[in-house]
Amino acid sequence: MTIQVEDVSKAFAGKSVLSHFNLEIASDTCYAVVGEKGSGKTTLCRLLLGLERPDSGRIRLLGDYKYAGVNAGAVFEEDRLFENMTAVENAALISKRLSEKIAAEELSKLLPKERLTVPVSDLTEAERRLVCIVRATLVPSDVLVFDEPFTGLTKEQRKSALDYVLSVKGTPPLVITSETYEGLSFAKKVDIHEGIALQQV
């Protein structure tokens, strides 16, 4: 499956956030969408996830794909965790088919086991982000969309998280937004202000 972002523009309250943005997102490829805070990275993520609609342009799903929207694994800029529930409980909520045992096994690859059974309100900022990252990978997805996923992580935690994601993601494309390209050289760099021109067929 390929997601084509074609000449997309989006504004809020009269302020342009994305202007004539182009990008083709293909399977088996990672993308690092880079730009300063407030430059439209989160808006692009929300457009890809179907949470916003473009003011102009279009987002198309190419190939043999029969559904109207994409099935995405997402890490949002905010954590979106249930504060009174544990890391395991939060992760297992992503799907009725997912057991807490499997969620715990995956979470333990990035978090100490003793931290899996306390309310997430007691976790550090970094630990909460790791829960969000693991949760997003726990069910099969057409695309992974990670908006500033490494906020608050040390370099070691960031590397471990990236290694984990790349080892489990399979063929779906991975879109990561970041203020810098540092540590993301495995991914195709996409400047949020420029995009990547679509190839004419």
**Which residues partner with 146 through β-bridges?**
75, 176
Residue 199 neighbours by CB under 8 Å, 6+ apart: 24
Judged against a pLDDT cut of 80, whether residue 64 lies above it is answered with: no
Rounded distance between C-alpha atoms, residue 30 and residue 144, angstroms: 9
Question: Domain of 144: which CATH number?
Answer: 3.40.50.300
Containing structural domain, residue 178: 2-191
* DSSP output for 105-126: HHHTTTS-GGGTTSBGGGS-HH
- Over residues 84-98, the pLDDT tens digits come to 999 999 999 999 889
Count the neighbouring beta carbons within 10 Å of the beta carbon of residue 198.
13
Lookup: tokens for 201? 């067929």
Count how many domains the chain has: 1
- Angle between helix 125-137 and 155-168 (nearest 10): 10
Q: Is 200 within the bounds of a domain?
A: no
- Residue 199 is assigned to a structural domain of this protein: no
What's the order of all strands across the beta sheet hosting 2-12? Answer: 15-26, 2-12, 56-62
Residue from 94, 192, 111, 106 nearest 153 by CA:
111
**pLDDT number for residue 106:** 97
197 falls within a domain: no
pLDDT of residue 78: 94
Q: What is the pLDDT of residues 116-139, one digit of tens each?
A: 999 999 999 999 999 999 999 998
Average pLDDT over all residues of the chain: 93
Residue 62's pLDDT is 80
- Please determine, for residue 201, whether its predicted confidence score (pLDDT) is greater than 60: no
